[in-house]
Amino acid sequence: MARLKVQHGPLMFHQSGGCCDGSAPMCFQAGEFRVGGQDVLLGHVSDDVPVWIGAAQFEYWRHTQITIDVVPGRGAGMSLEAPEGVRFIVRSRVFTDEEAELLEKAGEPPRGDAIALGGTTGAP
């Protein structure tokens, strides 16, 4: 992440829906990927890199903790890590009952349309 930030500036992730690159988390220069109105902001990695996911994919994974990891290998074609000899992958686990309860109390995460209208950014 640090090397990509130096090379490209601010970054963002979008968890792809499985078309061309499977379910690979795609890393883009911030603003290079247009977030859709129903995309869901999952949170941030490295404190300042937003992680977005499509609404349908979010519904499928909403009960799991998603961790973005990096492993040796060939990255997805459009993702910034592709030329680096590494790729980002997603690891997941089901939330515990306690975690699920806390998330339910916190309410729904922000979506792209709310942010476009001046709502919360989900920033830490």
Mean pLDDT for 10-30 is 81
pLDDT of residue 123 exceeding 50: no
Domains and CATH numbers, the chain: 2-107 (2.60.300)
Strand boundaries in 1-124, DSSP class E: 11-15, 25-29, 40-45, 49-53, 64-72, 86-94
- The percentage of residues in the chain with a pLDDT greater than 70, rounded to a whole number, is 85
Average pLDDT over the chain reads 86
Tell me the per-residue pLDDT of 84-101, one tens digit each, with 9 for 90 and over.
899 999 999 999 999 999
